[in-house]
Amino acid sequence: MRKQQEINRAVAILCKKGDRISVAQAEVLREKRSEKQVFQEYVLSVGEEKKDDTFFFALRDAARYVAGGLELGELIPDADEYKISNDEFYQEAKAVSEREFRAMERKVNLLEKLVNELLQASRIRVENKQVPEVNKADFLNQSEAARYVGCRKETLRGWSMRGFITAYSMEGVVHYSKSELDASPAVRHYCTVRQCRKEAEQ
């Protein structure tokens, strides 16, 4: 198998050449495709009327270069005519193919979906937490808690989702602990800001 540094240099030269075959060869090098994969894609999967022997053999040579079966001069006979700067070389070394990018994108989307599901499950667990048997008189339903704090129900729900306060379930109705609301830094900060605004308006 060809070293990654050698592959990067060959890709940089092919991209600098820029013709259709060179660009396709560069893609084969980036993805490190085998001869079998190239044959499958450009011979078996292509109708007779669309087959291009010159194109296929060029890509096959690129696959052979990746495997170490060809040298750079055999893959790109005029390679010495293309001087590659360090910037071009390192830029190519950092590049990923479209196929690799799509694969990473799919993984990111799956991770985002998993994280959202975990967050949703966590929120459900928090909202379904049962009210302790003691001090039930300390608990307020959502409307009462909103009036007590001086905020909207949506604000309470947002604090609960972020873990600033705890939402309890009593007979299917969400409740909040008055003492926990009093002790919550988020609630205290909200009340302080609200009071300051009221005083400023007077």
* Predicted pLDDT of residue 79: 86
* Predicted pLDDT of residue 127: 52
165-190 burial, b at 16+ Cβ within 10 Å, e below that, comes to bbbbeeeeebbbbbebbeebeebeeb
Q: Could you give all domains of the chain from N- to C-terminal order, each with its CATH number?
A: 4-95 (no CATH), 128-201 (1.10.1660)
User: What would the pLDDT profile of 170-186 be if each residue is shown by its tens digit?
Assistant: 878 889 999 999 988 88
Sign of CA dihedral 94, 96, 100, 105: positive
Mean per-residue pLDDT, 13-17? 88
* Predicted pLDDT of residue 102: 75
Residue 164 pLDDT grade (very low, low, confident, very high; cuts 50, 70, 90): confident
Amino acid at 70: L
Q: What is the mean pLDDT of the chain?
A: 81
* Predicted pLDDT of residue 194: 81
In terms of phi and psi (left: phi > 0; alpha: psi -120 to 50; beta: otherwise), the region of 139 is: beta
Sign of CA dihedral 131, 175, 179, 185: positive
Residue 57 pLDDT grade (very low, low, confident, very high; cuts 50, 70, 90): very high
- Cα Rg for the chain, rounded, in angstroms? 32
Nearest CA among 141, 136, 133 for reference residue 172: 141
Per the confidence metrics, is the pTM higher than 0.85?
A: no
User: What would the pLDDT profile of 27-46 be if each residue is shown by its tens digit?
Assistant: 999 889 999 998 888 888 87
21 has a pLDDT exceeding 80: yes
Q: Measured between alpha carbons, how far is 47 from 141 in angstroms, rounded to an integer? A: 70
In terms of phi and psi (left: phi > 0; alpha: psi -120 to 50; beta: otherwise), the region of 52 is: beta
User: What would the pLDDT profile of 74-119 be if each residue is shown by its tens digit?
Assistant: 999 988 888 876 555 555 545 556 677 777 778 888 888 777 766 6
* Predicted pLDDT of residue 75: 92
